[in-house]
Amino acid sequence: MPADEKPKVTLDCLGLYCPEPVFRTRMELDRLNSGEVLEVLADDPAAVEDIGSLVKHLGHEILEFSKEGGVLRFLIRKK
């Protein structure tokens, strides 16, 4: 991963269920400056659609999404 895509913050939402992961992701994105990257870790299956919809609605960009075991990992760049 290029240095400019290194996460500024990692948000651990493991063990949390809807609506907490999307709510906390929104709060953390609001704290970041434009261009900074947020890493979100979640294990709620609904987070795939919820966080994806949030990012699209706010106009940010999902740089990377992966699922390893039951852990979902999002890299989101704030616009």
Residue 59, SS3 per DSSP: coil
The helix (H) or strand (E) run that includes residue 52 is helix 47-58
Token reading at 5: 């895509």
13 is catalytic: no
CB 76 within 8 A of CB 38: yes
**Which is catalytic among the residues 18, 32, 62, 63?**
18
Active centre residues (catalytic): 18
